């Protein structure tokens, strides 16, 4: 994505799991990658009041680009469960309430799916990336990953809903995949590849 001289890129998130995944891909693509912790640790987080993943990704990218003067990459991503009419969706990080954590979000998800047959627990991870330079409208790219929700967790990798998100092509949950495997099929990896296509 970046040419010869390494371009500085800010990952506009405080989610350390996302930072790790983005850094793994983007440093290989030639960027000098920084996180909010590196460049804007005291900056308040923007209000994500969009109705879609695209809305929220754009809000974050433009906010951090304007305040840091850097090229910024933001994402909004979440889990869409068909049997729950698309929930948790854009509220994935706050599914169990504002004072959420992964454990509480997962507990609510599994409780909501009790009694639903496995083949009907189809779901997908969705990621929309927004790449914004200061004062510019962001470039958007979307990626998805299809799977099923298992009611019992497996694996210690990843974060969020990963221990419950079963990937049929691997026969494992997201939390059982190593980082290279995950990036090869994840919604975030797919969105990054789409962004690379748009940039090239």
Q: Is 172 a known ligand-binding residue?
A: no
User: Is the peptide bond between 42 and the residue preceding it cis, with omega within 30 degrees of 0?
Assistant: no
Residue 86 bridge partners (DSSP): none
Q: Is 16 a known ligand-binding residue?
A: yes
Q: Is 60 a known ligand-binding residue?
A: no
Q: Is 183 a known ligand-binding residue?
A: no
Q: Is 180 a known ligand-binding residue?
A: no
Nearest to 72 by CA among 119, 25, 35: 35
- Angle (deg, nearest 10), helices 16-28 and 187-199: 40
Q: Is 125 a known ligand-binding residue?
A: no
Q: Is 159 a known ligand-binding residue?
A: yes
Q: Residue 199: in which H helix or E strand, if any?
A: helix 187-199
Q: How far apart are the first and last CA of the chain?
A: 7
Q: Is 160 a known ligand-binding residue?
A: yes
Task: Give dist(CA 149, CA 61) in Å, integer.
Answer: 30
Q: Is 124 a known ligand-binding residue?
A: no
Q: Is 18 a known ligand-binding residue?
A: yes
The set of catalytic residues is 76
Q: Is 62 a known ligand-binding residue?
A: no
Which residues, at least 6 apart from 23, have a Cβ–Cβ distance to it below 8 Å?
11, 33, 35
Q: How does DSSP assign 170-189, residue by residue?
A: TTEEGGGS-HHHHHHHSHHH
Residue ranges of the annotated binding site for Mg(2+) are 76
- Which residues contribute to the annotated binding site? 13-18, 76-77, 159-162, 182, 187-188
Known binding residues for substrate: 13-18, 77, 159-162, 182, 187-188
């Amino acid at each position: 994505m970046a040419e010869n001289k390494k371009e500085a890129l800010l990952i506009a998130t405080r989610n350390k799991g996302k930072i790790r995944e983005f850094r793994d891909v983007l440093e290989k693509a030639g960027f000098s990658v920084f996180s909010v912790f590196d460049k804007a640790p005291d900056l308040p987080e923007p209000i994500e009041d969009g109705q879609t993943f695209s809305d929220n990704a754009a809000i974050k990218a433009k906010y951090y680009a304007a305040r840091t003067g850097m090229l910024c990459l933001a994402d909004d991503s979440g889990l869409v469960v068909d049997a729950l009419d698309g929930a948790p969706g854009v509220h994935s990080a706050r599914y169990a309430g504002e004072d959420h954590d992964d454990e509480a979000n997962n507990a609510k998800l599994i409780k909501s799916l009790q009694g639903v047959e496995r083949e009907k627990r189809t779901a997908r991870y969705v990621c929309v990336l927004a790449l914004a330079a200061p004062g510019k409208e962001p470039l958007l790219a979307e990626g998805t990953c299809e799977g099923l929700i298992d009611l019992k967790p497996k694996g210690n990798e990843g974060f969020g809903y990963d221990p419950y998100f079963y990937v049929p092509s691997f026969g494992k949950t997201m939390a059982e995949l190593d980082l290279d495997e995950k990036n090869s099929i994840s919604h975030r990896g797919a969105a990054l590849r789409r962004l690379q296509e748009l940039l090239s």
